[in-house]
A and B are shown apart, each in its own frame.
Chain A
Amino acid sequence: MSDQNQMIETSRNSERPESHFLKEFDLLVENAAGGTAWIEHRHQAVKAFSSLGFPTKKTESYKYTPITKRVKSTLSNAVESEMRTSNRAFGDVSGIHLDTSNGVLSTGPLATSLPKGLTITTLQEEAKRENGVLHEHLSGAIVLDRDPFSALAAALTEDGILIHVATGAHIEQPIVIHHDRIAAAGFVQSRFLIVADAGSTLRIIEHFGHLDAGSAFENRVTEIIVGEGANLDHVLVYERSEEATFVNALFVEQGEGSIFKTNNITIGGGVVRNNLNFLPNAENCETHLNGLYIARGASHVDNHTLVDHAKPNCYSNELFKGIVADTATGVFNGKVLVRQDAQKTNAYQSSKSILLDRRARIFAKPELVIYADDVKCSHGATTGELDDEALFYLRSRGLRPDAARLLLLEAFARDVIDLVEVEDMREYLYDRLHQLLTNE
């Protein structure tokens, strides 16, 4: 028996999926552009990736999420194809609209007709500017040894999107990014850098629409630098198809007195893993982290969040809600870390999920680690079915069980959607929610 095991082991080793990417890196880096610092960082990233390797069954942080299986199946089934979304959304939202292809701006750098103080460009373009934003900030927030996927995206990505708001600029209109096109064989690695300088304001909306055919594995790293007193609002709506995989890393660094708010809405995809990292590394920061996911069919949605309070007088509030139906799986792992220096921290976390079917599963693990003594922190996680008392109340007023359930589920999920500040988006999301919950 042990012989046989050995054999399987060796044959597995010989086709370790990591080697595919290491080879790809070697090929890419030969002609890499963007300046020595960036290229050096890519070398570090590939090293981090190589030593971390893809998660195995023993990897605690991916215990419930069979992501490596997805990597392998993408590697073996990848065919070059072009995919477009069939449900372009938020087209009517008044704002600055951008399209991407493989996670890169398909329009190229935008120079004209942007409000003063706003730059939207590609990472490569920005890299040409000697004292540009890229050289100061790219790779500043990412923590390479935290996760193999972030490291991999940082290593392999050749180009990406850069959005920069200059000091004091208030950009009234939201930037709406339509991730509507993918043309690749299997993997799409991408990077996104957002820099809001001191006192600026900006709102960014991202939509990952449904792809009708083919499977895409998108692995992305976004770094967001929120300057002193700046205010940044980020909403991401992901609704790709069941064949799609998404590993989405977000690293947010905040300056003093800044406000950052993100709303992460996952209402599609086959396997989705959000790695959301918040580092309010200065005093008086405000961080709002809201999330909603609806997992149906056989899909798997995994939200990993870390709020790392290192400085005093900060406030963070995290609200995650999930509805898991059919044979789908939801995972929530939220860690709030309050370091010793971070006195007078107010940190709140709440995760609530509802299971709709017997075979649906949820794994929730809230973690609160506090080293400072003068703080206000709370966390709570509930997983359950719909409240029987509430259902009975509605039914006692004549509502049929289905209608009563729908009303409660919508109310449950709307709570998060209500926190999206753009009205057109809220309306869209309410509609989508209703469709998803009624299987329309």
Chain B
Amino acid sequence: MLSVKNLHVSIEEEGTKILRGINLTVNAGEVHAIMGPNGSGKSTLASVLAGKDGYSIDEGSVSFDGADLLEMAADERAREGLFLAFQYPVELPGVSTANFLKQAVKSVREHRGLDELSAGDFLKMMKEKAELVLLDPSLKSRSVNEGFSGGEKKRNEIFQLAMLDPKLAILDETDSGLDIDALRIVADGVNTLRNPDRSFVIITHYQRLLEFIVPDFVHVLLEGRIVLSGGKELALELEEKGYDWIKETHAQLT
């Protein structure tokens, strides 16, 4: 599904190196968790995969479902089935959620050779998917994310994920800002969306989310590299011991 090989990325303007040789393979249906200290490059990896401008790819390759991901424009990647749930979803004053999603769903479905949904079916789908994360129905009639609470924004991301039916979803700290109940609701939503054809990359700081969404693999990202990978137990270990011990071993190794 996704294969990242030796990916080196720097900030275009200043040349600061952020990612220093990422290797990551995600097969269909797998759930991968990425953990790591603040500033280690997790969001940068997510942004680069989603096709955000402003980065220079210095080395490496990314293939997505057999195609060269880095050659595709951001919107093309989305239509091909890559979805990013943002760490900080953008507020879009004046852009109606319904209109925005109608266009998004339409372009994605068109690309995948599916028929355009009738107005009725679209509304039905909106309702169904919103219920998945118990999104307050009134939010759908407001401007995208405008004035939403932190938690509402995160639910809205998962709602959009459900609407767009991606092959690979990257969740960047979807759990931060969610209260304990909301965390469970969103996790349940994600679990419902899990299937053998859909993969997830879940970026998080807390083991708690991974109790609900049990990952197949856990990776530690440190200073732009994946320095340690393991099973779901690794998350527990990190929660207990922090990152210092990894930093130390990593420093010794390099």
Contacts and interface: CB of A to CB of B under 8 A. Distances in A.
Q: Is B one of A's binding partners?
A: yes
Interface of A: 387-390, 392-401, 403-404, 407-408, 410-412, 414-415
A121 B10 CA distance: 71
Given A388-B53, A394-B100, A404-B75, A399 B93 contact: no
B75 A401 contact: yes
B53 A398 contact: no
A389 B78 contact: no
Interface residues of B, number: 30
B107 A392 contact: no
A412 B104 contact: no
B138 interface: no
B161 to A, nearest CB: 10
Contacts, number: 75
A393 B79 CA distance: 14
6 contacts: A392-B90, A393-B92, A396-B77, A398-B111, A401-B73, A411-B95
B164 to A, nearest CB: 7
| In the A-B complex, the 6 residue pairs with the closest CB atoms | A411-B94, A398-B78, A397-B104, A395-B75, A393-B90, A395-B74
Contact of B74 (A392, A408, A414): A392
B79 to A, nearest CB: 5
Contacts of A389: 90
Contacts of B79: 398
A398 B92 contact: no
A398 B90 contact: no
Contacts of A414: 94
A132 B90 CA distance: 58
Contact of B90 (A390, A400, A403, A415): A390
A407 B103 contact: yes
B89 A393 contact: yes
Given A388-B53, A415-B94, A398 B104 contact: yes
B33 to A, nearest CB: 21
A396 B50 contact: yes
Given A408-B92, A412-B94, A400 B86 contact: no
A396 B104 CA distance: 9
Contact of A399 (B77, B84, B90, B103): B103
Given A392-B52, A407-B103, A398 B108 contact: yes
Nearest to A397: B104
Q: Which of A390, A396, A410 has the largest number of chain B CB atoms within 10 A?
A: A396
A408 B108 CA distance: 19
Nearest to B75: A395
Contact of B78 (A388, A390, A397, A403): A397
A395 B73 contact: yes
A177 B79 CA distance: 48
Nearest to A389: B90
Contacts of B104: 394, 397-399
B143 interface: yes
A390 B95 CA distance: 11
Nearest to A411: B94
A401 B107 CA distance: 12
A400 B95 contact: no
A395 B78 contact: yes
Interface in B71-102: 73-75, 77-79, 83-84, 86, 89-90, 92-95, 99-101
A394 B94 CA distance: 13
A396 B100 CA distance: 12
B160 interface: yes
Nearest to A398: B78
A387 B91 CA distance: 11
A399 B53 contact: no
Nearest to A404: B75
Q: Name the residue among B75, B100, B111, B164 with the largest chain A CB count within 10 angstroms.
A: B75
